[in-house]
Amino acid sequence: SQQGEEDPQALSIQEGENATMNCSYKTSINNLQWYRQNSGRGLVHLILIRSNEREKHSGRLRVTLDTSKKSSSLLITASRAADTASYFCATASGNTPLVFGKGTRLSVIA
């Protein structure tokens, strides 16, 4: 069964606005990762946050992790049309397989 659950399932915003996606999970983790999938393509790793970290930045991406609430959020600032994609969170526990959520479909309208 899938551990990560993204929210919302779909999000539509105007170019230049910020996009926030949330992920909730059920069990203890070593790290949480976010991936992007453009239509018809494989997933691409965006950012990883370890269980002892609370916030991480990478360019226009900001990820937070609250292990007490078992949740994470991905913020994309100043969105662009090229950010249109599906975004997935995945949780890692030791060397067990990554478990993916169902994803958030982001549409950025120019």
Partner 1 sequence: NAGVTQTPKFQVLKTGQSMTLQCAQDMNHEYMSWYRQDPGMGLRLIHYSVGAGITDQGEVPNGYNVSRSTTEDFPLRLLSAAPSQTSVYFCASRELAGRYNEQFFGPGTRLTVL
Using CB under 8 A, which residues numbered 4 to 63 contact partner 1? 30-31, 33, 35, 40-45, 48, 50
Closest CA to 54 of 40, 43, 69, 64: 64
Query: Looking at 16-24, 59-67, 74-82, 101-109, which segment touches partner 1 (CB under 8 A)?
Result: 101-109
Q: Which residue has the tokens 């090229």?
A: 82
Q: What is the spatial distance between Cα 90 and Cα 98, in angstroms, rounded to a whole number?
A: 6
Tell me the closest approach of the beta carbon of residue 4 to partner 1, in angstroms: 8
* Pick from 43, 26, 67: nearest CA to 34: 43
| Nearest-angstrom CA–CA distance, 17 and 80 | 8
Per rule CB under 8 A, is residue 2 in the interface with partner 1?
A: yes
The answer to the question of residue 88 lying near partner 1 (CB under 8 A) is yes
- Closer residue to partner 1, CB minimum distance, 59 or 97: 97
Q: Which residue, 2 or 12, is less far from partner 1 as judged by CB?
A: 2
Q: Are 25 and 16 in contact (CB under 8 A)?
A: no
Cβ closest to partner 1, residue 19 vs residue 29 = 29
